[in-house]
Structure 1
Amino acid sequence: MPRTKRIRDIGRARRLRAEMSLPEVLLWQELRRKACDIKFRRQHPLGRYVLDFYVAALKLAIEIDGQAHDMGDRPERDIARDRWLRAQNIEVIRIPASEVLRDANEIADSIVRYCQSK
């Protein structure tokens, strides 16, 4: 990857970290508390995408889907993104933002348990 493209991707990821949605912030806080030996990355650039959360050791992407993911061409874009990630041998877990807002603690517990089972 050309250096200028990588720098742009890193800059975009940094901006997205600063602009995380409420469900992403709540989940990040819980994951950081519970992670133990699991290294979660937030707003991680990968290819042309920035993943909400990523566990490199497990090749696991965790995406938090708000209402916007149901509108316009977003469903098709999400399908294409998931297809590309699977082609890179990355598993994708999609979680509705409403579930995170309802109980971020339980969602984080479930994610950590899942990671520990792999």
Structure 2
Amino acid sequence: MTVAFNRKSEKQVRRHLRKNMPQAEAALWSRLRRKGVEGFKFRRKYSVENFVLDFYCPGLKLAIEVDGDSHFAVGAQERDLTRQEAIESYGIKVLRFTNTDVFENLDGVMERILEHARPPLSPLLVKEGK
């Protein structure tokens, strides 16, 4: 069986990326760390196959990607789509935010993440005739 998560071959890359996080990722990490989302633990720079996720919550099977300017370069969207499809093939949901989203609306970003952490509400029971 092939190991797909946090391969040893990616360890140095993950360590380097953790030490050199962009400001937007650091800002979001300050809110995600220490079980900051409904008690769920997030990991930063977690790898799936040869792709390193910005943040990953195993309990929710939720990946969070913060996209900087390089994600808007020619060809980047195709690479991101290929990457996302590979990650989603493991049943992992991917949420994407831009640096601008994080800097200008961190509370909104957190609310969107919280939507995935909270169980869905049951539909209200409606009495007949009302």
Q: TM-score category by the smaller chain?
A: 0.7 to 0.9
Q: Which amino acid aligns with 1:87?
A: S
When Rg is computed on C-alpha atoms for both structures, the one with the higher figure is 2
Name structure 1 gaps, 5 residues minimum.
none
2:125 maps to what in 1? none
Q: 2:102 aligned with 1:100, yes or no?
A: yes
- More helix by proportion, 1 or 2? 1
Moved segments of 4+, more than 2 Å: 5-8, 32-36, 103-106
Q: How many residues align?
A: 116
Q: How far, CA to CA, are the matches of 2:68 and 2:38 in structure 1?
A: 27
TM-score by length of 1: 0.86
Q: Which amino acid aligns with 2:22?
A: S
Indicate if the aligned counterparts of 1:31 and 1:112 stay in contact, CA closer than 8 A.
Answer: no
Identity %: 33
- Deviation of 1:36 after TM superposition, in Å, equals 4.2
1:20 is paired with a residue whose SS is coil
* Structure number with higher relative contact order (C-alpha < 8 Å, ≥ 6 residues apart): 1
- Give me the CA root mean square deviation: 2.0
Q: Which amino acid aligns with 1:21?
A: P
Q: Which amino acid aligns with 2:90?
A: Q
TM-score by length of 2: 0.79
Q: Which amino acid aligns with 2:9?
A: R
Q: Which amino acid aligns with 1:83?
A: E
2:101 is paired with a residue whose SS is helix
Q: Which amino acid aligns with 2:74?
A: G
